[in-house]
Amino acid sequence: MKLNGDKSGMEELKYIKENKLFYLKFILKEAQTNTDHRASFRGRNMGKFILEYNVQKDEFTILRDSSE
């Protein structure tokens, strides 16, 4: 499993991993099982990110949500 994308989004996922491991597992599973293979989450500064799962490559990409 590979993870790439937005640097600040990766920092937020690292923080979630260290402090809320159950929530990180939920976000990853949500992205893998959702019909559009995406899950959104918020960072500590309330920035919104999208975790996108690529099925063929078995990798995750973090995108900054521009809808805000």
Full-model pTM: 0.86
Q: What pLDDT score does 47 carry? A: 85
Could you tell me the pLDDT band of residue 68, with boundaries at 50, 70 and 90? low
Residue spans of alpha helices (H) in the chain = 7-19, 21-33
Count of alpha carbons within 13 angstroms of residue 12, beta-carbon side: 22
Distance between CA atoms of residues 38 and 52, nearest Å: 4
Distance of alpha carbon 68 from the chain centroid = 17
Q: What does the alpha-carbon distance between residue 9 and residue 26 come to, in Å, rounded to a whole number?
A: 16
pLDDT at 28: 94
